[in-house]
Each structure stands twice: as structure tokens, then as C-alpha cells.
Structure 1
Amino acid sequence: MTTAIAVHGLHKSYDKLHVLKGVDFEVAGGSIFALLGSNGAGKTTIVRILATLLKPDAGAATVNDFDVVDQAAQVRESISLTGQFAAVDEILTGRENLILIGRLRRVGDPRGIADDLLERFGLADAAGRRVATYSGGMRRRLDIAMSLIGAPPVIFLDEPTTGLDPEGRIEVWQVIQQLADSGTTVFLTTQHLEEAEKLADRIAILHQGTIIVSGTLAQLRELLPPAQVEYVERQPTLEEIFLAIVGRDRKEQR
């Protein structure tokens, strides 16, 4: 497997606050890599450095074999970045948002690409509606669809399900899995452990400025003592109850 992202000895400080203290990790091409960490751990700082929006104080990083400092323009041409909040124009329709980005990126046939993405992301029926009428999950799906215009091989998703309800989160999870299945490398930051557990091929935990552990979910589980087998009655989670009730209510309304 090719290496899509490589980070070695990354350091970054803000005045006297030393945020990154020698961060190292690699991301395989076509995989989903989840970076976990609490608020203020430095996840967004890493994303901003990899997206060439911020320069590191020390260390090196490459994206698609391009150095993020010396070859910043080439890095930008091969990535997309979706922040914590959907960057969509609420006045425009879903289709108009996509066409606008297509024209800005100078792709051929922006209308055709917009229609293909609307269909792919389950937004075709809402294509002509103003984005102000969209739900949170729909806005986030549109936001990710906009970031795919130009077919970037790497996409950065910085806490993509922030503020979404359970249904919206699941919608976004499905989109992220589809991206990886199509060969796109997905770099995901999140505070939701369930999100990383469901999606990620590899997981890294950022704590106090360094990566303290990295590996597959199975490898991380091996760090803990073997689980004891106990037979207990499992109760449904609140999320399962919510989705079951809402889904049943929708079926009854049809």
C-alpha cells in the first residue's frame, strides 16, 4: 500500500503554549485514519499544517509525496478540507453550491458533476431547494460533496459530525465509508470514540502533544487485559431507541 500522508517529528507552539511535541504517524492510501483527542489536544492544528494553512515550527510532513512547506501549492491541488461546520451558502440551492465550486476549480462540465454528486449523496430530490431549508445532515453531506469536486485523492474531515443528531451522524458515516470504498484517503479527526470505532482502518490517539498509541482497533484492544466473559441482559442504547422510534414513525406516515 502507498503512503498518502507521512508526519515525522512535528512541533508547533502558540506563544508559550507547546501544542505539538514531536508528532509521528503515517496514513495508507485509500484508508480511513482517525485522529482522536480531547478539546485542545492539537487535532485541528495537525489538520491545518497538513492542509498548508499553518507552518510547523519543526519536523516534516508530506501529503501525496509533496512537502507541506516546500510544495504547498501541489499539496493544495491534491486535497480537500472540510471543517467542523458546513461551509455552504444558505441562499443558494444545493445544485448552485456545487456548480459554484466547480467553476471556481475550473472543472469541465460543472453542471454534470453537480448532478452526479447530488445523486451520489442522496440530495437529488432537494437539489433545487435553498440550503437554508436543509437539515444538518443534508448540509454536511452537501459540504463533503463540494469538497470532492476535482476528485482529490485525500480529504481531511475535521470533526465532521459536530452538532449533528444521531440520524445526521449516521448519514455522514455512510458517506465517509463510501469515500474510502472508492479509493479516497480520509483523514478524520473526532472526539466521538464510536465514530472512530465504526469507520477507521487505523486509529491514533493524540495526548499532551504526542501520539501515545496508534494501530488498528484490534491492536489497541490488545493493550488492555483480556475481557472477562459475563452473561448479561443487554439493554438497547438511547441512540438505538431514538432511531427505532423515528424510523417507525416515518414508515407509519407514508
Structure 2
Amino acid sequence: MRNRFPSSSLSSYGSGWSTNQRIATGAAIVAVLLVLAGVVALLTGGGSGHQTPDAAPPAPTGGPSHAEVAAKPSSGSGSVPKPAQIAEPVAYAKAAAEMLWSYDTRDTSRDQQLAGMRAWMTTETEYADWASVSGQVPDPVLWSRMADQEQHATASVTEGHYPSAFQQALADDPSAITEAYVYAVTVNGKQALRWQKGGGGAEDRAVTLAVQCRPNHDCTLAAVAPNVAQ
């Protein structure tokens, strides 16, 4: 009989959290995005998650955006790709989501996975919610079980957009973004799972990310928002 761990993929880890845990996570994300007036509505489910925005919020200006670069594994981080060199919020969030939804327990330890993910984070600690990102990784025991089954996953992104509540917050106060340059972006895609003896499957994925994109700098990851805010 094929052996699968349906709750062990990185992107579904934490899906069984209690209401209190989700509220606590949401509160942490709100703290990260506090500089954006009205974003609280987004993170408490006020946004309409799968609507394509009519107009995008202003992207950082003052320098050319980097082209998307094919990611390569960095030493010490196993199969986790290096941070994408992208200066546009939606494109960066799509690359970050693909990174979060991809892993390979055959050649990457849990510590390497975490190290690779941390490299994508903003170094501005007042805007970084590392707990929300590292919380995507299963605990050491579960990671070990996944490795025993040679579980690995690849991801494909179908689209990314600014949630409507985030756009409304910027419309209400356009200057708010210029303090931290933290953007909320929802990304949708698919994750393909594989494990030993030919086992496999595919699942739809969606996540809202907070990304920081200061002018003249590549974007960085600030936080993973709760899935209730799409």
C-alpha cells in the first residue's frame, strides 16, 4: 500500500491549527503590516481573495527592476533556491511562493530548509515575521518521516495579485506604503508531491505574502499571512 503523509507538505503544515492559533498568527502579521493603514481588514478576511485587481498599487521607482533570474541552490541550503533578484512585488511574491511550496527531503535537511528560507527574509527586523515563515516547515520528527519516504515537491505558480483590501488601503492613504514599502500579494498555484515507490499527487495552493520592496533594492520576504486572507 502506498504510504503518504497528506499533512506533511510544507504548504499545508499548520492547516489544522486551532482558531486561537490562527488569531495569534493573524495578529503577528498585522503587527508586521501596521504601517499600512487599513491592511488589518485584509488580514482578518476582509479582502476578496481571487479577484484580479483593476489597478495595481504603485511599485517602487527610482531604478530598473531586475529580470527574473533562474534560481540555483546555495551551499548549505540543500535544494532551496537562492533569493530571487526581483524588484517588483508581485513577481517576487510568485518566486517566493514557489520556493515555499518546493522541497526535497532526499538531499535537504530540515536545518538546510530553514536556512535557505531565511535567506529570503528582510533584514529589517521590525518588519520581519520569521515565525510565520519558519512555521511552514514540519517539526523535526515529521521531517524525518518525510525523508524516510523520500518525499519531495515541486511547484508551479498560476497567478499573483494584490488583494482588494490592500488596494483599498493604499487608495485611502497612498503615502502609507513609503514608510516600509511592504506589499501584500496573494499567489495561487499547484504543488506536485512525490515519494518513494512511485507515489505522488497534486494539490492547489494559495498564500498571501508580505514582501518588502524598497526603491533601488531587490524585494525580500517579510511574512506569510494566514490563508483566510486571500
Shorter-chain TM-score above 0.5: no
Pick the structure with more strand per residue. Answer: 1
Structure with greater contact order relative to length (CA < 8 Å, sep ≥ 6): 2
Select the structure of larger CA radius of gyration. Answer: 1
What TM-score does the superposition give when structure 1 sets the normalisation length?
Answer: 0.28
What TM-score does the superposition give when structure 2 sets the normalisation length?
Answer: 0.30
